Amino acid sequence: MKAYYLLFAVLLMYVVPKARAQSPQSIIGTWLSESRDGKILIYQSGSRFFGKLIWTNKLYDEKGNQRKDIFNPDIQLKKRPLLNLIILSDFIYSDGKWEQGHVYDPNNGKLYNAVLKLKSNQLEIRGYVGISLFGRSTVWTRSE
């Protein structure tokens, strides 16, 4: 039994410093979506983190007009352009992850609770309704 405690203590010493070595600003920068059809700029405002859509291959319709947020349930917001649309909002850094924020999906107009976790040059976004167990994850890659 003592061997298990010793193993747990050694693993804890290895994992805890790695999580704390990451700074809150580590996610700041440009990220490429998992489907590679969008770039998101993550930035800090005060103590919170946000992300806005700065490029998408669906930015213009077939007539050359800039696409709007047409799936938004709020009639007033349907008129806003997709370019520079805030899709990550109000994230707070805590214990190696960014939480208590929201992710907006412009493809369906839905807003989800979310948690962000950084793993090297990949950002895991876990969006959910209610509890994170019943959600979906996507992975973004840092863009140069």
Kindly report, residue by residue over 66-87, the tens digit of the pLDDT: 999 999 999 999 999 999 999 9
**What would the DSSP string read from start to end of 26-72?**
GG-EEEE-TTSSEEEEEEEETTEEEEEEEEETTSB-TTSPBPB-TT-
| Contact criterion met (CB below 8 Å) for 37 and 31 | no
3-state DSSP assignment of residue 10: helix
The per-residue pLDDT for 22 is: 83
Distance CA 117, CA 47 (A): 17
The whole-chain average pLDDT of the chain stands at: 88
Domain ranges of the chain: 24-142
Topology (CATH level 3) of domain 24-142: Lipocalin (2.40.128)
Q: Is the pLDDT of residue 89 over 50?
A: yes
Q: Which residues pair with 119 in a beta bridge?
A: 122
pLDDT digits (tens, 9 = 90+) for 41-63: 999 999 999 999 999 998 999 99
